[in-house]
Every structure is written in C-alpha cells, then in structure tokens.
Chains A and B, each alone.
Chain A
Amino acid sequence: MKKLALILLAFAASLPAQELDSHKLLNPGTDSWPTFNGDYSGRRYSTLAQINQTNVGSLTLAWAFQSRSQGSFTSMPLVVNGIMYATLPDQVFAIDARTGRQIWHFQRPSQGGGNRGVAMYKDRLIFTTPDAHVICISARDGKQIWQIQIADPAFKGFASMAPLVIRDHVLVAGSGDAADLPGFLLSLDPMTGQTQWRWDSEPKPGEPGSETWPQDSDVMSRGGGMLWLTGTYDPELNLTYWGTGNPHPVENSEARPGANLYTCSIVALNPDTGKLVWYFQPSPHDTHDWDTNMTPVLFDANFKGKPRKLLAQAGKEGLFFVLDRTNGKALVSAPLGDSDWYSGWDERGQPIPRKEAEPQPDGALVHSAITLWNAPSFDPQTGLFYVNERDWINVYYLTIPGKKAQGWAGRDFTVVGKPFLKALDYQTGKIKWSKEGTGRGGGSSGILTTAGHLLFTADTSGNLVALDPATGKTLWHTYPGAAMGSAPMTYELDGRQYVVTPVEGVIYAWALPAR
C-alpha cells in the first residue's frame, strides 16, 4: 500500500504543476471547482464550513475582478490549482483565485450572446461560442490549440453551454430554437476536437421512440431537443445525465402529434458510447418551450428507509421529479407551484398535458410554475432541494397552424409572475419553506449550499444573500450593483474560504476578514 502511494505520488509530481489531475474531477476537494457544477453530482453543495452561521455576518470583500468588457458573466468560473477560469462570450479570463489579478485573457471577435463557462482537460480549456464553435486553448497562456464548428449560425445555431469532461471525452452540444434543428450531444477527443460519438435527440425511423412522432412526415428528423445545459455524471454507474430541450416546431402541436421523444426528457447515456440507457420525460409533447435542460442533480440518500441512488430535477415546466437514477423510475412527481396545464400523472409518473393548454389561435391562458437554468442546489444536511421559481401566467397564441408549420409557429407573452425561493423535501416533493421575492417578473439566480449551514443566492431585487437553509431566514446581504445572472461558487485556498459571485462584468470574492 505504501509503495502504491509512493508510485502515485511520483506520478502526481511528474505532472506539470497547474494541470488538472483527472482524479480531481472525481474528488475535487475543497480547493477546487473543476467543472461547471463544482463536481459531477450537480448538487452545488460544498463541505466548506469556515464561513458559517456564526460568522457570516462579518463576510467581507476579499477581491473584485473587473472584466473591463461589455457583457455579463453568466458563466460558472472554474478554480483549479489556485487559478480561476471565467468566461464572457468569446472571451476567457485566467485570474489569480487568491488576489483577483488577471493572468491572461483570450479574446476572439464576438457577436455577443451568452456563455456558461469552460471545461478543463489536463492543461487545456474547452468552451463554446455564439457562432457555434468549440474552441480548445492552453490553460497556461490562453493560446488556441484547436477549434471546430458544430452548428450553422445561418439556421440560428449557436452554442453557450460549458462542456463536460468525462475521462477522455469532451461532451458538448449546440443550441438553436428557431429553425427546426435536430438536437444532439457530441463526444469530442480533447486532443484534436474529432468526434468520438454523437447522440441524436431524435431516434431514426423505426428505432424505439420513433413511434412518438408522426409517421407521414419528416418532422422527427429536425425535431429539436437541444442540450444546452451541462449534464451530470455518476462514475459508479458510468452514466451521464442530461436534460433535453423543447421539440420543434415549438408552439404548434398539430405538426407533431405524440410524445416527441427524446425532447423535454432526462436521458441517461453511456459516456463511452453515447448509447441511451433510459429516459424520463418531464414534459411530454411540449408546446410551451418548456425545455427540461435543468441540472439533473445526483445524490445518494435514504428514500422511505432504503438507501437509493437518486436524481432530482426541477424543470422549466415547473415540476419536481425524484428518480431512481439506475433505471429512471419516478419516485416523486410533484408541482413546484401553481400549474393548470396538466391533468394528472401517467403510469410512469410523467404529467399528462391538457389539450386546451396548447397554444390556440385565439390565445390560451396558462398558469405555470417555471424555473430557469440558474442552478438549483441539494443540501444533504437538510435533505432539502432548493430552487428559484416563479408562478407565471402566460398567453400562448398559435400563429402558424397546420401540419406544415415550422420554426416557432406561435407567439407568447408573460402576463405577470410571482417569484419564490422554495425548499423541497426530496422524499415527498412537499414544500418545506418558501420565500416570496419582490417584483412581478424578476431575474433568477443560482444557488449554493455549504456545510456551514448556509445557502447563498441573490434575491429578485439583486441583493446577494446568505440564508439559513433550514428556514430561509436571511443572515447576510449586500447589494453588488446588479443582478447575479450566474450562481455562487466556493473554494478554500491557504486556509481561507472564498464565496464567489459573478455579477454582470465583475466577479466578487467574499471571505471572512483576513487575519
């Protein structure tokens, strides 16, 4: 055993100092945040407790990083070996995670858009661009190594997601909701950018799932289902979990009768082959642009007295599901808020959409809870799942009826909405506590929970807040000048815990006062 440790140590020492050791992806430790969600589980829970309920009131600014650039940070920064990697569209910044000082800056001409961050593979960073490219640069100095194109901007294809690295696979996908593009997930070789495998959101004719599309048209071949938010991974089961987007044409039901698999689904894929292992569909036959891309959060916990491998997701359709992640069977199906668009649950625990709630030529008034992409969090200490949600009222108009419809094919507007931060019991789906925000629409921010019995997020007035995750009581707050579009993250360096909040063009790092 000692000998093995020595060999391991020698191996580790032979790596150039700042590379990402692949073990770090499996066990990030408290000094790293090496993936979009901090770890493969997507829980956004940190075991750090230096900042806790007794001292959070004295939280202060450790440093601030000014991007000096137009554009908002909607990305999650990574932290690896003391260096932070943050993105704006077509830009990457390497920042000293101790001091906030810039190390290097990568920039290419940009058309704007959004970006959610980089993935790291050894000494490389990989990210996507508004013109649907995937770019690999050196983490050492930001020099470009390779780039490929994965979708056609002329068909409104773009890319914004942070890729997910699993061993020697870089999982990445494009987006685009306007021109009936088929959804896909690519696995790329991190050394060259070459495709290792491709999973399509839609089956081929005759394959399982194809029966959920019309047989007399080719709508299935361009049926949407974009994967635009980073998935999660269970190394033991060797399954990667992803949410897929809405089907196309977006707001026309008639052109695509059926459940439209595998759009608006949670899918479990084998990361080595791209083969589908199971699926669950939170919004069957979606007609409201309710992508279910939101993070499939993985945790192991007792369920009705038995230890289970679980997956929880709060989706844009406003529902909360807890699944057995070995097989996709639903254990809990529950609403996040007030919704009137479904009539009940089918035998799989999926909602049964009401025909009348589909977009109509004269407008359909639909009440629906909704949650956006901003990260939820699961806190194993409280056993609660936290999500920023809104009770929304929308009117959906069908403007291009008929089987030949394409593109968006409808119009919709939001009448009004009530924002909430909600804490859900994963065993029942019941809302343990709920905190109403200000405003009647409002932004949405991601959430972080920590072992310090703290929940960090931003309220709908833009205040950064630290709450008691058991009750929702506010323990610390400050106004950073704008709303946080991204989510908080945390790490510890040299015995000091930092909580980082990207807000528009500034990254703030909060910590206890330096001793």
Chain B
Amino acid sequence: MRKLTFVLLIAFFAVAVLRAQEGPPQGGAQRGGAGARAQKQAQAEAAERGRKTFVATCAGCHGEDATGGRGSDLIRSALVRHDKNGDLLSPVITAGRPDRGMPGFPLGEKDLSDIDAFLHAQIDLYDMHTRVPGGYPDDIPASRLATGSAEAGKAYFYGAGGCSKCHSPTGDLAGIAKKYSAPDLQQRFLYPAGKPSTATVTLPSGKKFSGTLLLKDEFTVAIRDADGWYHSWPLRAVKVEVEDPLAWHFAQAYKYTNADMHNLFTYLETLK
C-alpha cells in the first residue's frame, strides 16, 4: 500500500507542479520529455522523504495523513494551501505556535522543503477529481477488489457469461492478472475499449470496399482500407456491414450484476 501511495504521489505531484506555476506553461516542446520527468521524480522523492519526517515529527498531532488529530487539519489549512515553497509554512514549523500549544521544530532547510512537498502532495491527493485525466485509480490493490467467489466467477465464465466462447484461461487470458493493474483488469474485462470495428461497404455497382471503420454517423461512412487509404461515401448511397469485435462486450456490459463483476474479477485474478 505504501508503494502504491508513492506511485500516486508521483502522478499527482506532477499536477501540483504544473498548477503551482504562475502564468501560462512555458515552452512545452523542450520542457516536456526528460526534464519534466526528472523534475516529477525529484518532487516525488522529496514528498516521500517529507512523509517520513512528517510521520516522525508532526504526525503525533496532525495525523499520519495530515488530516489532523490533537493538532489542526492541514489538508483544510488556508496557510498550507496558500503556501508557496515553504514561505508560509516553514516559519510556523521552526518557530511553532506557542499560543496554540505547538512547539517549534529546529529543522533544516531540506527537511522543511521536503515536508512542504509532502503536504502539497497530500492536498492534491485529497483534492483529486477522479475524472481528471491521469486520475485513474491505479492504486487499488487486487486483494481489495477480489471480494467475490472464484468458483462462481469461473462458473459464470464458462456458463451464463459466455466468456469461454471467445476466451480461454490457458490461451489468450493466460497470465492476464499479471499484465494489468487490478483496476485496469476490472475495467478491461467490463469493456476492453480501443478495438476498432471493421466495415464492408458495397457500392451500387456491386464493388466492395473493406477496412477499419473510421466514421459511421447518420450521414456518412468512412473507412481506411488495408493499404492505408481513406475512403468515404454518403451513407444513403451504399450498403454497410459493420463487424464490431466488442459488440458482445458492449451488450454484456449492460447485463453484468455487481456480484457478476466481483466474481468474475476474483476468478480472473487467479490467472497469474
């Protein structure tokens, strides 16, 4: 769990770093790649060091997660939220708040900035809106999700679910639990998005075109053929047959019960 939290911190710290900058982001092209990653990594490491210092020094009053206890909740602290690089926080840590019973802690600059990094990462963790891109819950351990019955899941796989018509635990699904994080595995068996449909378009002349379906709305059909060329036609002028490799998953998504989901996941999780 600690390791997972750490991973999360890295992810959210990047967001924090971006947000903390004043004005529009500067020159993306050069700054993107390696430099940004190294900065993220450094921030995450600082936050992790800060966490250790915090647990040892501050957690007694403010709680291990900084949500408070004997001392105040630092996630909801206006002082921490308005702090920039320790400008507000560090003086409070070093001088204490004698009037409120907080002693001063004679920490060095590095410890102070690490604690600052930890607290801002912690705030981002709490503030995170899960539908923000990159906010996907990859930190949930398989043990927490595998609350169903592997037996019932297996029965569903070979029975009511009809999964075994296309999939096999020793074939395409062999070792599947190792390939994906637990939440990814759960999401992918519910609906493994990303596989495009193929279409065969028959023209009035009888000529047929096949390829990857790019668009089919009320008016237009468009494909990319095997040679990579794009074609489109007004829908009313042609006959279109679409083959959707996910059609079964799409229909099934609306049939799963909550219990089916947990049982099937618990079964799939055994395929290591």
Interface residues of A (CB under 8 A from B): 109, 152, 154-156, 177-180, 222, 338, 356, 361-365, 367, 391, 393, 395, 397, 399-400, 404, 406-408, 410-413, 415-416, 438, 440, 459, 461, 463, 465, 474, 477
Contact = CB atoms under 8 A, between A and B. Distances in A.
Interface string B139-182: 11000111100000000000000000000000000000000000
Contact of A365 (B73, B193, B258): B258
Given A155-B81, A415-B190, A395 B261 contact: yes
Contacts of B78: 152, 154-155
Nearest to B124: A178
9 contacts: A154-B78, A362-B147, A397-B183, A406-B126, A408-B126, A413-B187, A415-B187, A416-B190, A461-B215
Interface of B: 23, 67, 73, 75-76, 78, 81-82, 123, 126-131, 135-137, 139-140, 144-147, 183, 186-187, 190-191, 193, 215-219, 250, 253-254, 256-258, 261-262
A400 B65 CA distance: 11
A412 B190 CA distance: 14
Contact of B130 (A109, A152, A364, A413): A413
Nearest to B73: A406
Of B128, B147, B217, the most chain A CB neighbours within 10 A belong to B217
Nearest to A439: B217
A361 B145 CA distance: 7
B136 A407 contact: no
B130 to A, nearest CB: 4
B76 A406 contact: yes
Question: Which of B187, B190, B219, B258 gathers most chain A CB within 10 Å?
Answer: B258
Contacts of B123: 179
B219 A463 contact: yes
B256 to A, nearest CB: 6
B217 A461 contact: yes
A407 B219 contact: no
Contacts of A438: 216-218
Contacts, number: 114
Given A362-B262, A415-B191, A461-B215, A407 B127 contact: yes
Given A393-B253, A416-B250, A461-B215, 16 more contacts: A222-B76, A362-B146, A363-B261, A365-B257, A393-B256, A395-B186, A399-B140, A404-B67, A408-B127, A408-B128, A412-B131, A413-B130, A415-B187, A415-B191, A416-B191, A463-B218
Contact of A397 (B140, B193, B258): B140
A393 B215 contact: no
Contacts of B130: 408, 410-413
A179 B253 contact: no
Contact of B190 (A152, A179, A391, A393): A393
A444 B187 CA distance: 23
B137 A179 contact: no
A406 B68 CA distance: 12
Contacts of A415: 187, 190-191, 253
B60 to A, nearest CB: 17
B250 A440 contact: yes
B140 A178 contact: no
A78 to B, nearest CB: 28
Given A180-B76, A399-B140, A474-B218, A416 B253 contact: yes
Nearest to B137: A411
A357 to B, nearest CB: 8
Most B CB atoms within 10 A — which of A177, A338, A412? Answer: A412
A178 B129 contact: yes
Contacts of A474: 218
B84 to A, nearest CB: 10
Given A364-B258, A395-B186, A463-B218, A407 B137 contact: no
B128 A407 contact: yes
Nearest to B266: A362
A407 B75 contact: yes
List the 5 shortest-distance A-B pairs measured between CB atoms, nearest first. A411-B137, A461-B217, A154-B81, A407-B126, A178-B127
A477 B190 contact: no
Contacts of B146: 362
Nearest to B83: A154
A289 to B, nearest CB: 8
Nearest to A477: B219
Nearest to A410: B130
Contact of A459 (B187, B217, B256): B217
Contacts of A361: 144
Given A338-B254, A408-B130, A412-B131, A459 B218 contact: yes
A391 B255 CA distance: 13
